[in-house]
């Protein structure tokens, strides 16, 4: 029997089939279209997402030489804050999904901040008032799409994140559920009670009747009905948002364990244990997972642009043909020669939270080459993550000793060495970089009783390589000063340093 992980991401859906001892039996990915109806707006067609999920599962089963009846349980992980609206009876989309990258609700967020609501929202949710999160996206849909508010209030419309949409479709409309990690990203869930909060629902004017039930991250959540090659009655037993699934997949089970996932953006999470920990340095407090009645919490920092910066070099500037070419190009030079790239192409996330910041390249000279720009891009990603690691150390009151990494860009040896150097931490890379899908499979295995608990599930993960800091403290301080000066410029402030 196999565990099926559905990893529904920003640009495509991946299906991963794992044996109970952690071997990859089959893997497949189906991409789908991105829609950009206005500047700063990003949308997905929910039917495209569903077709990509069905297709990737069919492809993975074929690649593994398995049939649907060989699937013991299903785990779901997903792009988290992307917000969906669909009909409860038919499953038909009511509007395109508004993607986590979308910035259309910044005016609404600014108005809430100016009205003084952010301290209370942060105390209840652990989040900041930023367009990144789902609640203001839900409010926008209800206020701007004809008929949706009446349908939501009447109970015929569902609002939720991608996991809830998938559970509803996978179960043939029989279940409407979201797990606690995804709910914790909506601005609507109380971190302490782990339930929808009436004060927050009133603030954003989102009716409870439209929202899914909040469930733990592992357990019998629903069963399939009418899902392609997978037989009816196959249990769905694990759900976690992508970054929490990666934290679980990296076996970060102890307080202080830290991971970074490099995807479209870069996301750093640290396990903070059984109680939510407020941040004093611009990080978010979130739910890491919940097994049974026991929650585990985390601090999170996000850099919105990581792999997307390399895609920009490829698609926007034409400097490389494939994203994987960036490392070889960056290695054609010994350093970035003072060139600094701040990848604030969609604003800055933690610890700055500046939606108005813009991408910046500075330090150019007549001697600047394609190689310098490629290396500066990798450095910009590593610098952004290093800022998050430092903020976590300050919140924890102790240095971060090890950073576990995953995601596609973690295969880039130069980036991983830069990350170790600029963060002053040991970087540990697993043999399998798909920790997100593995985390979902591990949770599904626990929920289905395949694994007795996290430690048994973690046996399916293995380390590939470790990177150790090689910069002197003086050199690291100089590099950090160069980066800080560039960030100030990206945020519209005059620089106090040259470069």
Furthest C-alpha separation in the chain? 65
Q: Is residue 231 part of a domain?
A: yes
- Alpha-carbon distance of 181 to 317, in angstroms, equals 37
Q: Give the pLDDT of residue 497.
A: 41
- Between 128-132, 306-310, 323-327, 352-356, the lowest mean confidence (pLDDT) is in 352-356
In a domain, 112, yes or no: yes
Question: How many domains does the structure of the chain reveal?
Answer: 1
pLDDT greater than 70 at residue 499? no
CA distances from 416 to 162, 262, 408, 467 (A): 30, 10, 12, 7
Whole-number Å distance between alpha carbons of 147 and 27: 40
Extended strands (E) in 417-489? 426-430, 463-467
* pLDDT reported for residue 264: 83
Angle, helices 106-114/134-144, rounded to nearest 10 degrees: 110
Give, in order, the Cα–Cα distances in Å from 496 to each of 53, 57, 347, 354, 361. Answer: 50, 53, 21, 19, 16
Rounded distance, CA 214 to CA 206, Å? 16
Q: Region 329-342: what's the mean pLDDT?
A: 95
In a domain, residue 317? The reply is: no
Partners of 206 in beta bridges:
none
CA dihedral 82, 389, 338, 360 (to 10 degrees): 30
User: With 70 as the cut, is the pLDDT of residue 384 above it?
Assistant: yes
Q: How many Å apart are CA 288 and CA 163, to the nearest integer?
A: 16
**Continuous H helices in 73-117:** 106-114
pTM of the model: 0.88
Give a yes or no: residue 107 inside a domain. yes
Mean pLDDT of all residues belonging to the chain: 92
pLDDT (mean) for 480-484: 94
**Helix (H) or strand (E) run with residue 495 in it:** none
* 25 torsion bin: left (phi>0), alpha (psi -120 to 50), beta (else): alpha
Whether residue 496 is predicted with pLDDT greater than 80 in this model: the reply is: no
Residue range of the domain that includes 101: 2-243
Tell me 479's DSSP state. H
**What is the reported pLDDT for 101?**
87
CATH number for position 142 = 3.30.420.40
Neighbours of 62 (CB within 10 A): 13
How many C-alpha atoms does 73 have within 13 Å on its Cβ side? 24
Whether residue 441 is contained in a domain is answered as no
What gap in Å lies between CA 161 and CA 141, rounded to an integer? 13
Q: How many residues does the chain have?
A: 499
Q: What tens digit of pLDDT does each residue of 77-128 get?
A: 999 999 999 999 999 999 999 999 899 999 999 999 999 999 999 999 999 9
CB of 339 closer than 8 Å to CB of 372: yes
CA 378 – CA 401 distance, rounded (Å): 22
In a domain, 369, yes or no: no
More confident residue, 347 or 119: 119
With cut-offs at 50, 70 and 90, classify the pLDDT of residue 461: low
Over residues 217-268, the pLDDT tens digits come to 999 999 999 998 899 999 999 999 999 999 999 999 988 899 999 988 899 9
């Amino acid at each position: 029997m196999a565990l099926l992980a559905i990893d529904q991401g920003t640009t495509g859906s991946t299906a991963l089939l794992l044996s109970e001892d952690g071997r990859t039996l089959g893997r497949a990915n189906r991409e789908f279209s991105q829609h950009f109806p206005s500047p700063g707006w990003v949308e997905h067609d929910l039917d495209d997402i569903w077709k990509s999920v069905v297709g990737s599962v069919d492809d993975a089963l074929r690649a593994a030489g398995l049939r649907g009846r060989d699937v013991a349980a299903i785990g779901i992980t997903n792009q988290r804050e992307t917000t969906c609206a669909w009909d409860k009876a038919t499953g038909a989309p009511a509007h395109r999904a508004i993607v986590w990258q979308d910035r259309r609700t910044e005016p609404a967020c600014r108005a809430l901040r100016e009205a003084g609501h952010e301290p209370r929202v942060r105390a209840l949710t652990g989040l900041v008032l930023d367009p990144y999160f789902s609640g203001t996206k839900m409010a926008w849909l209800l206020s701007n799409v004809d008929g949706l508010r009446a349908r939501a209030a009447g109970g015929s419309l569902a609002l939720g994140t991608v996991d809830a949409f998938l559970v509803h479709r996978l179960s043939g409309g029989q279940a409407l559920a979201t797990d606690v990690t995804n709910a914790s990203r909506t601005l609507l869930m109380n971190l302490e009670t782990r339930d929808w909060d009436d004060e927050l629902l009133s603030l954003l004017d989102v009716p409870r009747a439209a929202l899914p039930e909040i469930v733990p991250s592992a357990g019998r959540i629903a069963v399939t009905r009418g899902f392609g090659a997978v037989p009816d009655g196959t249990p769905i037993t694990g759900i976690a948002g992508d970054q929490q699934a990666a934290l679980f997949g990296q076996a970060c089970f102890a307080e202080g364990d830290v991971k970074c996932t490099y995807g479209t953006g870069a996301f750093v999470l640290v396990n903070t244990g059984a109680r939510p920990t407020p941040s004093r340095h611009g990080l978010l407090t979130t739910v890491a997972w919940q097994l049974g009645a026991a929650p585990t919490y985390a601090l999170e920092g996000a850099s919105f642009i990581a792999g997307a910066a390399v895609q920009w070099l490829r698609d926007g500037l034409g400097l490389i043909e494939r994203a994987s070419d960036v490392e070889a190009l960056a290695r054609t030079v010994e350093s970035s020669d003072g060139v600094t790239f701040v990848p604030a192409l969609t604003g800055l996330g933690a610890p700055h939270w500046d939606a108005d910041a813009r991408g910046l390249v500075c330090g150019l000279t007549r001697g600047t080459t394609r190689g310098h720009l490629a290396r500066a891009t990798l450095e910009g990603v590593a610098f952004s993550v290093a800022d998050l690691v430092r903020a976590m150390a300050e919140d924890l009151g102790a240095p971060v000793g090890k950073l576990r990494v995953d995601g596609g860009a973690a295969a880039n040896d130069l980036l991983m060495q830069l990350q170790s150097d600029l963060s002053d931490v040991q970087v540990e890379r697993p043999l399998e970089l798909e920790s997100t899908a593995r985390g979902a499979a591990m949770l599904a295995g626990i929920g289905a009783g395949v694994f007795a608990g996290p430690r048994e599930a973690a046996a399916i993960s293995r380390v590939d390589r470790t990177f150790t800091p090689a910069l002197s403290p003086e050199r690291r301080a100089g590099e950090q000063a160069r980066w800080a000066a560039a960030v100030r410029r990206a945020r519209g402030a005059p620089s106090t340093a040259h470069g």
